[in-house]
Amino acid sequence: MVAPAFIPKKAGARVKTDRRDARQLARLMRSGDLPPVYVPALDDEAIRDLSRAREDTLRDLKAATLRLKAFLLRHASRYTGRATWRPAPLRWLSEVVWPTPAQQIVFQAYVQTVTAQTERLGRLALERHEQVKTWRFAPGGEARQALRGVQCTVAVTTVAALGDLTRVENPRQLMHYLGLTPSEYSRGARRQQGSIPKTGNPHARRALVEGAWAYRYPAKISRHLQRRLEQLPTAIQAISWKAQGRLCKRDRQLMAQGKNAQQVVVAMARE
């Protein structure tokens, strides 16, 4: 299989038939100008769907929470404690009474939506944890969790999106696939780089960028990271600490140069 976007086309060609398409594809295949598309296995695609379903649920939960907070803000009803979906705010929400039946109905609908999305998110996370145990890429996902900022969600999302890495020849090609390399428009002696093109798989790119924020702080092994490292071989632990020291140092260097925080975290994700 090949990607239609990478099939060269002549601007002046106005006739399109199956015979011409087949002849053109045969020529391009013979010359090696058609990059193949990776087709994941059925089990890999299932884990990928489960991971994306969790992302969709998290997005729906954020939207439902914003609607509830906006409704409370419109009516000057504020919770004085920490605004997290914990037992204390839930008890406060159960005690709120609105002056009209219509407002009470709307309020209960918003609360029930947030509660349902929270329960759905927990069920999907539990199912993902159970399904990953028998996955063929489970050892690779566990090894990636040795890195700082890469927990189960980031590791599973990245591994499921990338699939078999033996098809990639070098790390630079992988970063091109993820869309984490800067765009470039150069001519002659002039070299101009721009923002990342954001091509490739957006799920893996988003997960790597989220995990890269952890390297903005000094290198250390936290309690949660130590718990993950205890289950991994010594060689992987050494790689984890070496990568953490290098990335934290690189982050400080880029910030000292006056780089934007978003640019620095994308550079950390690419590393």
Overall pTM surpassing 0.85 (yes/no): no
Tens-binned pLDDT, residue by residue, of the chain (271 aa): 888 888 888 888 888 899 998 999 999 889 888 888 888 889 999 999 999 999 999 999 999 999 999 999 999 888 887 766 778 888 888 888 899 999 999 999 999 999 999 999 999 999 999 999 999 999 999 999 999 999 999 999 999 998 888 888 888 888 988 899 888 888 888 888 888 888 888 999 999 999 999 999 999 999 999 999 998 999 999 999 999 999 999 999 999 999 999 999 999 999 8
Tokens of 192: 């101009």
Q: Write out the H or E segment, with its range, that includes residue 244.
A: helix 234-256
Show the tokens assigned to 101.
């039946």
How far apart, in whole angstroms, are the C-alpha atoms of residue 147 and residue 211? 9
Q: Which alpha helices (DSSP H) does 37-151 contain, by range?
A: 42-74, 87-95, 101-132, 138-144
C-alpha–C-alpha distance, residues 123 and 116, integer Å: 11
Alpha-carbon distance values, 83 to 72, 91, 104, 118 (Å): 12, 12, 21, 15
On the 0-12 / 13-18 / 19+ scale of CB atoms within 10 A, 160 is: buried
Which residues, at least 6 apart from 137, have a Cβ–Cβ distance to it below 8 Å?
Answer: 44, 47, 159, 160
For residue 83, the model assigns a pLDDT of 63
Give the model confidence (pLDDT) of 70-91 as tens digits.
999 999 888 887 766 778 888 8
Reduce the DSSP state of residue 207 to 3 states and report it: helix
- 110 three-class SS: helix
CA distances to 34, 167, 225, 264 from 164, rounded to whole Å, are 20, 7, 26, 28
Phi/psi at 193 (5° precision) = -110, 145
